[in-house]
Amino acid sequence: MPGLRGSASLTVSDLDTAVAMGSGDVPVLATPRLVALLEEATVKALAGHLEPGETSVGMRVHIDHLAPTRIGRLVSADALLELVDGRRLTFSASATCDDREIASASITRVVVESGPFLARID
């Protein structure tokens, strides 16, 4: 399973900005939206590789948001599954805009059975 890759992309809109998400007061790509894009790439890496009834949930994200991105720009995210430790999956991920790295991250997801996972939520 290590070596699986996934990618996702986003054209930054007004709804993706720090202003819109309440995470800042500048109209540039919000860090929370960038995290969601990187996580989307990890989910896509796992597509078709989990057992029926299983899914993965986010556990940990360590991100360095390296550069701002304006509205209208295309951001591409890539994730690589590097480590499988039981049910914990650790990915390296990065995001680019115009071949410039705007973020790097380490993302850990945990494989769970969907039914029991949802049943224990209050």
Q: Which of 40, 65, 108, 113 is catalytic?
A: 65
101 is known as an active-site residue:
no
Tens digits of residue pLDDT in 54-90 = 999 999 999 999 999 999 999 999 999 999 999 999 9
17 is known as an active-site residue:
no
Tens digits of residue pLDDT in 82-99 = 999 999 999 999 999 999
Domain CATH code at residue 110: 3.10.129.10
The total of structural domains in the chain comes to 1
User: Against a cut of 0.85, is the pTM above it?
Assistant: yes
SS3 24: coil
Q: Per the structure block, which two tokens stand in for 105?
A: 């991250």
Tens digits of residue pLDDT in 13-52 = 999 999 999 999 999 999 999 999 999 999 999 999 999 9
Q: Domain range spanning residue 24?
A: 5-119
* Residue 52 CB neighbours (<10 A): 6
31 is known as an active-site residue:
yes
